[in-house]
Structure 1
Amino acid sequence: MGHFVTLATCALNQWALDFEGNLERIVSSIVQAKAQGASLRVGPELEITGYGCLDHFLEGDIYLHSWEMYAKLLQHEDCQDILLDVGMPVIHKNVRYNCRMISYSNRILFIRPKLWLANDGNYREMRYFTPWMRPRHVEKYALPRIITEITGQTEVDFGDAVLATQDCVVGAETCEELFTPDAPHIDMSLDGIEIFTNSSGSHHQLRKLDLRLNLIAEATAKCGGIYLYANQRGCDGDRLYYDGCPLIVVNGNVVGQGSQFALTDVEVVTATVDLEDVRSYRSLMSHGLQSRTTPSYQRVHANFALSKSGSLFDPTIVPTVARPIKYHSPEEEIALGPACWLWDYLRRSKSAGFFLPLSGGIDSCSTAVIVHSMCRMVVKACDEDDMAVIHDARRAVGLTAADDYIPTDPVEFANRIFHTSYMGTENSSFDTRKRATRLASEIGSYHVDLNMDTAVSAIRDIFVVVTGKKPLFRVHGGSDTENLALQNIQARLRMVLAYLFAQLLPWVRGKSGGLLVLGSANVDECLRGYLTKYDCSSADINPIGGISKTDLKRFIAYARDEFNMPILQSFLDATPTAELEPITETYVQSDEADMGMTYEELSIFGRLRKIDKCGPYSMFIKLYHEWTPRLTAEQIATKVKNFFFYYAINRHKMTVITPSYHAESYSPDDNRFDLRPFLIPNQRYSWAAKKIDEVVAMLNNRQ
């Protein structure tokens, strides 16, 4: 006889410190899970606070407000009669832990702290939390009074326990624990745990999803079991985009997979599975023998079952069939991930749109096409009657929720929220100006074409009047120092003009608010420092700052066909150039010639430096074996030494680089010290403000 259970996992677009909004999305996911017949719902890591609170996790208010939200969840009428696995931070014995709260119908069953913390790359969990590091150890936790008044409980088990229901055993592991060599699900499976939950805050990175999903599939392919993976979705107020993709796997086979990129805030994935499939899968002699040597987990017993009652066969219960895992190509990931990230910034910063200096080169072209992709996704979501997206779209274009505007055309929608400008000088070519104008027309941006020679001359003339010396470009006989200074005048003026237009273009069009300035420096230029500090690469956010030039070219080739935009071929054919030096019959400025290395070589240097952790010597040794005999040892040595020289002298630029969408594992983005999100949409801290007002009112009444 089959023991069929319907299980739910989800992806939620939670926001750091948005306590009430986060609670609303959690409840919505529970409602959807119950509507689909689920008896267990799993949510993302730290879903009550939002994963990206960073140094706010050091503040006591975070823990107070988390319990207040959790109290509301326990009492909510829509959150009863379902087993809930919810993430929030908890202080136990004056130590901060990243925890899973396991509850059922107005009662906390136990609290499971995270055993192993993510503490490399983009993650610094040990800055805020302490890992439990005590497998199978359980002690008592004294509940706050706000919870005792609701549940009648004064304490619950706290530690590495599992839940035993009437028909199965459920165990939890959290995000990083899946990636550890000795993952908890191995010992749990040997101790008879059939269902594993994994609540995650895992970010998007190009070509990363297969690693994550393969580990999840392998977790049960070897040991058997049912694995429910939940993940955060969206931009959580920082550089990362969490790419959802909730998953349900049974014995190594995927039976449920959510989307990796989407604008919807709540996505619930359910599957009906048979517990007997797990038990039969584990009927191997080796599994039974090894289980005898595995320490047991303390079981917290619960008087309910996840499967429906009754012993007769029910033909209305149909198990979910297995399906292949869906992956996006890297080009699709670039089209979708940064687009979702931009949408979150637009709607949550409450800006009037975006402004982009459009140079006619492939980098700013890529940024513009990503905005176009965002507009396409908005139109698609509106066409599917996603009321949250429709509401946000109306606000973004300056309308109210009461208006009946619904975006139906990406080009028309872009014209309302996307602004571009070609800022030419005497060193600009006709081709780049024409490409920028044609691209703006095709995408639909509100485009401004201007020459800024007068402003450039004015800045240069100030220097001439003050010093009595006139700098010249190299092609006119000037030194390298003069040449660079004259280029930087143009670059920095573009930044000044970008912010001027970003502030005033909405006013010119009779609208209120300001625009977010978009940057368009790719990860390789940042790595090499091939950009002017405080030039037009200085912006509010940069959707391509973590993407290599090579991947951007592939993305533009993909977009050319997928979006039916033949104009993009001209960007692929053009030679990358900053157009900051005069063009002569014998000289046209080239990025790769200026840098002394190709963009492809820069990507290789970057991966060896960051991922393979190579210094100059070990990098040279590796490249000598890879690049000979195509290059001589002297040529390889020169390239390696030049790379590290320019990396070192330009590293200071990374401390002020525009916050960029994280997409590449060798990104040199500098993010240090005061690790709090730089975008806090809930500027008035509405829930904290209400609490403050309550205290003020109480004090006034006493007086």
Structure 2
Amino acid sequence: MESMNFIRAAAACPVTRVADVHANVANIKVCIDKAVHEHAKLVVFPELCVTSYTCADLFLQKQLLDEAELGVRELCAYSAGKDILIAVGAPLYAQTVVYNCAYILFDGKLLGIVPKSYIPNYEEFYERRWFTSGKGIINHTVDMSFQKDVPFGIDLLFQSGALQIGFEICEDLWSVVPPSSYLSLAGAQIIGNLSASNEVVSKSGYREALVASQSAKCMASYIYSGAGTGESTTDVVFGGELLIAENGTMLNKNKRFQRDNEIKTSIVDIDRLNLQRIKNISFREATSTMPWTARKINYSFEHMDYGVFDREIDKHPFVPADAKQREQRCSEIFSIQAAALAKRMEHTGLKNAVIGISGGLDSTLALLVIVKTFDLLGYDRKNIITVTLPGFGTTDRTYQNAVSLCKKLETDFREVNIVAACLQHFKDIGHDPAIHDVTYENVQARERTQILMDIANKEGGLVVGTGDLSELALGWSTYNGDHMSMYAVNCSVPKTLVRYLVRYVAEEETREEIAAILFDVLDTPVTPELLPKNGEGKIAQKTEDIVGPYELHDFFLYYFVRSGFTPAKILFLAKIAFKDSYDEATIQKWLQTFIRRFFSMQFKRSAIPDGPKVGTVSLSPRGDWRMPSDASRNLWTTEH
């Protein structure tokens, strides 16, 4: 199986008994076997899990320290042939002091030992009574009874190919500058945290937020393994929390207070992390703050098989799956659009807005943004000049929706039929109107834009564009036609999200007649209506029949621009996300269409009007996307 630079990582919580190394090692082995069975390549165990965390003054007993080393030796031998990197917690007696450490094991060998940097000594924690900080330990080695010259320090990275993994321990994450920040700057895409964080009311929520936040700051995956219920003793209770986060997103977590050996796994996307770091200049510049140079400990996985691909791939990455989050997203975007347009209206001193209304989704959303903006500024809605521009392909359904919506919203509604002007233009340029080619279509689009611009000049208004992000990506606009406006409020809203924004307004609308129109607009197929109506007066031209499903193109756009993935990886993900909707041949066909149009239509994006950025993907040449208009697409074609 091709790995596509995915790796499965595991967080484990074995059943522990306080100071019972033999029992603890046995349960750690059970969890290792579970992780191997689930095709994990990394498994992170809790802090001091070999001895248990709550041994207190027993950590000063030679018997326990000696037994802990024997336990690590046994686990090291057990790791042979399992093709998995294992991080277990145990004390280390070295140089007359005791350290709280992560032991990193692979294929029968102890690769390195990472000491805890920050030793808590407040409230219920008394670790300084037993342990010494390893914060300053770099470029060191230690001798174990079973292996000499073992790398020891906070400067260790464990590398297999391009994959690098670093480790920190519990309180390290809570510090102002966690060691994981430096480990990430040194190259670690995955951070393991061996922890023994006890449970008090509301601490779990804070801990989860901390893990997610650190994974976002480090642009890394963060594997957190907390000590389980068997650690509970005297006045403290442990819940065994397991968390796997990636770049701010929680991929998997468990239900706390389990009483059996438990692991949680998730597939981590290394490409996603690497490419995010490439883009982020601040991340690159922060490498100059590194206080040490990482020592890279090399090892090699035999296989990168991650088993069943169970990572969730959202087919609509621009749209939150959770209804509450989706509502919040729509509310925020709508407010950003209105705030941006309000600024442009105030700056220009214009009191009028001009917009062409087709009865379709995009122009409906743009009109709703204008209405919100005018209400925000206290402008009269009669200063919103809405113009319907029926042509050869305008259908009764879209026409009636356009007329009704404009009138119900109490705008200055006007109608300019473009048929006669287009016929005259055909005559002027010598085009046969019976030939329904690109000239036939673009003449109509440019005629509409010309009318809107002229009305704006006449009335002292601002032409508000309606085109969306998906259309920009595909170049699905007429150059100097609907491609142009004086301000484009939808320019960074993808088509899949436009629907939810219009639905959001419809559901919030208190006037039933307006809501009904909006819902009917949502049910109307996306169409430019540039070809003559069919014999029944219905839509003869559906955009998605021509360029392909917008949900596919938005998926391609997200992973091409936001993640920088190769077409092969985008195809791989799309097959998973849309397995119940499209076959591989269909997905591949439209992916090729996306690549072809995205590259060939950059010249249009190089000359688009201003418009607000509302999300993480934008194609503005002044902001997020700077691409040569004449770049070759050969390297990105699926045949390459």
TM-score bracket for the superposition, by shorter chain length: 0.3 to 0.5
Larger gyration radius, structure 1 or structure 2: 2
TM-score (norm 1): 0.42
TM-score (norm 2): 0.47
